[in-house]
Amino acid sequence: MHKFLANALLFLVFSLSHTAFSHEGEDHDHDHSDSQLESGHGWRVVRAIEMGTSGKLVHMILVDHDVHTDKTVYSAAINRLCRTDDEFCRIRFWSQERYIPEKVSLTTEQNKQLKAEYVVNKTAGIHQLRWSCSVNPVKGQCF
């Protein structure tokens, strides 16, 4: 029951911040894989890619396939990688490493395999967590 309530609360918090989604500024990518990458229980950063020369990173996360429907795993990664005072934070999640891209832009297949995406861009007024239907199978609330 506790796990259900935690997932419901997490869903509610991020649902309230639902806004339009944007892919702006993704023309040039720089991989930051050589630096120390974060990880936690059920997830790890595979790479962090800079969007152009903006200094803004997109964190590419692998979630253990066995727990890819547990939203608390995603919440733990978000809380570790994004601070509340960050102007920008973007995290993309997959459960199969072979689909994690080498650059910010996604192929059709990489996009199909995406499990979730979290974006904060305070300048643009965006604070959003989107789920794939395989993680959050609620009609109209998933991609």
Find the domain containing 58 and state its range. Answer: 2-131
State how far the Cα of 98 lies from the Cα of 14, in Å rounded to an integer. 28
pTM, whole model, 2 decimals?
A: 0.74
Six token digits for residue 74: 């995603």
Question: Is residue 136 situated within a structural domain?
Answer: no
pLDDT score for 89: 97
Question: Is residue 12 situated within a structural domain?
Answer: yes
Q: Do the beta carbons of residue 73 and residue 41 sit within 8 Å? A: yes
Question: Is residue 139 situated within a structural domain?
Answer: no
Question: Is residue 63 situated within a structural domain?
Answer: yes
pLDDT score for 37: 73
Strand 126-131, strand 29-31: pairing = unpaired
Specify the number of domains making up the chain. 1
- Mean pLDDT in each 10-residue stretch from start to end of the chain (143 residues)? 39 35 41 62 96 94 96 96 94 98 96 97 95 91 87
pLDDT score for 75: 96
CATH of the domain at 116: 3.30.300
Question: Is residue 140 situated within a structural domain?
Answer: no
pLDDT score for 119: 97
State how far the Cα of 130 lies from the Cα of 109, in Å rounded to an integer. 17
pLDDT score for 25: 40
